[in-house]
């Protein structure tokens, strides 16, 4: 009878694990996963320019409507007149909140952050979705469409409650962007306001593996549902380093207005190494193309109102930050001014981001589900070396 091979086997396994441990210690580490390719997507690309399913966002913003873009992201192709009409019809039918969700919005204290309310509201909607427990692409597409229809209702109803006004009923016949502004303000918007809002929604709709989208994909990769993924994405977007940045931009601009000297303010801020929100981007080192598009609408709205002060302040800050720090503005820089020019308050800025980005998130949920692998990265341990356990009695 031959010798037992098990000791040799254990030695080989042990050596292999030791090598793997050493290799892990020497693996390159990228804080914030910067530059790490974490997956593949056919939804959008930011190489060279931002494209949604192959279409330049500049062309889409110049010629398409938000609902055309939403259909493109969810279904993979731009709609025909017939399929767009069908899409609008489904959205109109779904544009109603369950009574318990309306009551919930009324019961949450007014001081609660708008994004917290929206996150809770979306989670609550799941309980009333007729396909809540159904799985598969068709069911998820229907859930995504209902979310696109219902999220604006939550955002607008809560916003008006915070302003001390009752919610107004939806008017889907106005068009998506015009109806959104109607529900927020109680006034039918001008054509310029409608188009500016529509373009902002197009520009915010999708942006590859950003933090909130990645959060949605991680949740989906566990086999969880559409509503859980979107709720997680909203939680990620709330952060001031992600979606909440546009609210901070307006705070900066108002602070400069009070000081009355934009150049002195920005130079002092730079000297103190103060972070100025709305500038720089993890990916766009030479400038965010979306910011360029929206800047034009900011100027049009300012000219329409006859008040150019905030645009002049913004131009001064932008010029100096570009020159001194080499940082171009990102989309948050003009979007805060755009929504302010429409008479909207900062507490609704990030929820408006959700109104748009839900279609991008949902597209990623669908894509992750179709070719799923659990997202489970490794970490590099930097804690204490192996230690011997000391019983409690000996620690006193």
**Residues belonging to the active site:** 281, 332
Q: How far is CA 15 from CA 3, 19, 147, 337, 382, in A?
A: 21, 6, 52, 60, 22
Q: Tokens in use for 171? A: 């008017």
Q: Tokens in use for 104? A: 């919930």
Cα–Cα distance measured from residue 357 to residue 140, given in angstroms and rounded to the nearest whole number: 16
DSSP 77: S
Helix (H) or strand (E) holding 27: none
Contact (CB, 8 A) for 250 and 340: yes
Q: Tokens in use for 261? A: 């000297």
3 state DSSP class of 36: coil
Cα–Cα distance measured from residue 341 to residue 251, given in angstroms and rounded to the nearest whole number: 14
Cα–Cα distance measured from residue 369 to residue 375, given in angstroms and rounded to the nearest whole number: 12
Query: Taking phi first (over 0 means left), then psi (-120 to 50 degrees means alpha), and beta for anything else, what does residue 74 get?
Result: alpha
| Number of neighbouring beta carbons within 10 Å of residue 382 | 7
| Number of neighbouring beta carbons within 10 Å of residue 291 | 23
Half-sphere exposure of 83 (CA within 13 A, CB side): 12
Q: How far is CA 74 from CA 40, 153, 207, 352, in A?
A: 17, 20, 14, 19
Helix (H) or strand (E) holding 365: helix 349-370
DSSP 279: B
Helix, strand, coil tally for the chain in percent (to 5): 65, 0, 35
């Amino acid at each position: 009878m031959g010798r037992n091979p098990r000791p040799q086997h254990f030695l080989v396994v042990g050596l292999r694990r030791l090598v793997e441990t050493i290799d892990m210690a020497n693996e390159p580490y990228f804080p914030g996963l910067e530059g790490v390719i974490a997956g593949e997507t056919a939804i959008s690309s930011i190489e060279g320019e931002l494209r949604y399913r192959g279409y330049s966002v500049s062309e889409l913003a110049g010629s398409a409507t938000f609902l055309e873009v939403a259909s493109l992201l969810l279904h993979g192709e731009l709609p025909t007149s017939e399929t767009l009409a069908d899409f609008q019809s489904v959205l109109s039918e779904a544009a109603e909140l369950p009574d318990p969700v309306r009551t919930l919005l009324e019961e949450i204290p007014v001081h609660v952050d708008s994004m917290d309310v929206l996150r809770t509201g979306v989670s609550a909607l799941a309980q009333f979705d007729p396909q809540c427990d159904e799985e598969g692409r068709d069911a998820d597409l229907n859930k995504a469409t209902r979310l696109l229809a219902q999220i604006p209702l939550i955002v607008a109803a809560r916003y008006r409650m915070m302003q001390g006004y009752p919610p107004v009923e939806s008017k889907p016949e106005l068009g998506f962007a015009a109806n959104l502004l109607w529900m927020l303000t109680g006034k039918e918007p001008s054509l310029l306001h409608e188009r500016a809002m529509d373009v902002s929604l197009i520009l915010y709709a999708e942006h590859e593996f950003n933090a909130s989208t990645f959060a949605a994909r991680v949740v989906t990769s566990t086999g969880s549902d559409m509503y859980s993924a979107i709720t997680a994405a909203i939680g990620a977007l709330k952060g001031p380093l992600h979606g909440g940045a546009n609210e901070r931009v307006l705070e900066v601009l108002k602070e400069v207005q009070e000081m009355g000297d934009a150049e002195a303010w920005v130079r002092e801020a730079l000297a103190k190494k103060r972070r100025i929100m709305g500038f720089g981007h993890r990916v766009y080192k030479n400038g965010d193309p979306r910011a360029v598009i929206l800047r034009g609408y900011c100027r049009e709205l300012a000219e329409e109102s006859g008040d150019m002060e905030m645009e002049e302040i913004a131009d001064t800050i932008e010029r100096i930050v570009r020159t001194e720090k080499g940082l171009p503005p990102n989309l948050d820089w003009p979007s805060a001014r755009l929504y302010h020019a429409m008479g909207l308050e900062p507490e609704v800025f990030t929820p408006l981001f959700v109104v748009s980005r839900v279609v991008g998130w949902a597209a990623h949920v669908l894509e992750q589900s179709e070719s799923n692998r659990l997202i489970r990265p490794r970490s590099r341990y930097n804690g204490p070396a192996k230690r011997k356990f000391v019983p409690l009695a000996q620690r006193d």
